Structure 1
């Protein structure tokens, strides 16, 4: 039988209850350390209780920001190609540390041509709409976090195709 906000079960310790609550939260979806910490704090855990619970989850290998970031980047790139800047910003918004985000992105993009990703991004967008103007393509590529050199090359090629009538 449960009682209170933490779903406390009779006969179990407070730390076991926080762990049980966090495991249930993780069972629904992959989460970051920051997300689990915020969840526990929102449920009434003290900073020390949240930290202890996160330590136990990490020891049990239920929680690993590096693995989360690597899976998330691969999944994100499969669904929507984007540049490093956008990937990093989205990981940071999820509470992933800069060094962890950089490592996951570097690993996922190893051997991947950013121009090929940019072409995929433009092609996907053009399939949903009419042709993109160079200005629309520029905005899209910037919004999706591609590097300026890549954007310059892509826009140059787009303008050349327009001028040649292709």
Structure 2
């Protein structure tokens, strides 16, 4: 057996950063006996980079919670919220309503659902909702008008689609009808045409029948009646064909 086989391994064995220093001719430091195997060294390599032992990566990141831990945390939050409601239900209910209405209008049904989810008694919730309605903080009619105007302008939704959205939000039929009266036939046609023109930009060279089917489907999903949808689509495609057939003025 040779003398090399009896020689103890160098101090840097097992530490990649110290091994690199030994390879370039730098004398590796003697590991401190009190340092744990996962502790990062504060020395820097010849390139100026901070050296670190393997196993350091990822240190400091929070451990992923198990399903049982997440469930326990959720139950603890729910129990704490229930205890708070039981101690002072009116104060908690007021806070929920005011926080929900900060910066955004909401319907009475949306607010009632929030109170019910937090365990606020129905009688107290109804009383507070009536009071907030009396002072104008809750106004389903104004909410519906604002919602219809905004969604029709930004998304091009037709009255039928808007009526479904208002119904899901708990707006009454009378309030919804009044709000939808803002959108006339000309408004619907203009909004539908804007949707079609925008979509046509990405449909050049498409077969006319396929284009018609896709555009009509787009308008149907936005709530437009079939008659209006096909009328707008035919008009847009006809104008597009006329533009393509028109000779360039320079020729």
TM bracket (short chain):
0.7 to 0.9
SS in 1 for 2:119: coil
Structure 1: how far apart are the matches of 2:240 and 2:197?
15
Are 2:120 and 1:45 equivalent residues in the alignment?
yes
Relative to structure 1, the CA distance from residue 156 to residue 125 in structure 2 (aligned partners, 3 Å threshold; closer, same or farther) is: closer
Deviation at 1:110, TM superposition (A): 4.4
Q: Which residue of 2 aligns with 1:101?
A: 176
Are 2:200 and 1:147 equivalent residues in the alignment?
no
**Aligned to 1:130, which of 203, 207, 212?**
203
Where does structure 2 lack aligned partners over 5 or more consecutive residues?
1-79, 245-251
Structure 1: how far apart are the matches of 2:88 and 2:135?
18
Relative to structure 1, the CA distance from residue 160 to residue 123 in structure 2 (aligned partners, 3 Å threshold; closer, same or farther) is: closer
Q: Which residue of 2 aligns with 1:5?
A: 81
Q: Which residue of 1 aligns with 2:90?
A: 15
Deviation at 1:162, TM superposition (A): 6.1
Q: Runs (4+) of structure 1 moved beyond 4 Å?
A: 6-9, 161-165
Relative to structure 1, the CA distance from residue 56 to residue 144 in structure 2 (aligned partners, 3 Å threshold; closer, same or farther) is: same
Relative to structure 1, the CA distance from residue 25 to residue 101 in structure 2 (aligned partners, 3 Å threshold; closer, same or farther) is: same
**Structure index of larger Rg:** 2
Task: Output one character per residue of 1:36-84: Cα deviation in whole Å (capped at 9) or x when no partner.
Answer: 0000000101221221111011012111111011111111122111211
Bigger RCO of structures 1 and 2 (CA < 8 A, at least 6 apart): 1
Q: How does 1:19-30 map to 2 (within 5 A)?
A: 19-30=94-105
Q: How does 1:34-113 map to 2 (within 5 A)?
A: 34-106=109-181, 108-110=182-184, 112-113=186-187
Deviation at 1:147, TM superposition (A): 2.1
Structure 1: how far apart are the matches of 2:153 and 2:241?
32
Where does structure 1 lack aligned partners over 5 or more consecutive residues?
none
Structure 2: how far apart are the matches of 1:117 and 1:162?
18
SS in 1 for 2:178: helix
Task: Output one character per residue of 1:5-59: Cα deviation in whole Å (capped at 9) or x when no partner.
Answer: 27959xx964343123211121152211110000000010122122111101101
Structure 1: how far apart are the matches of 2:157 and 2:117?
33
Structure 2: how far apart are the matches of 1:114 and 1:77?
9
Structure 2: how far apart are the matches of 1:111 and 1:154?
12
Is the 8 Å Cα contact of residues 6 and 44 (structure 1) preserved in structure 2?
A: yes
Is the 8 Å Cα contact of residues 19 and 57 (structure 1) preserved in structure 2?
A: no
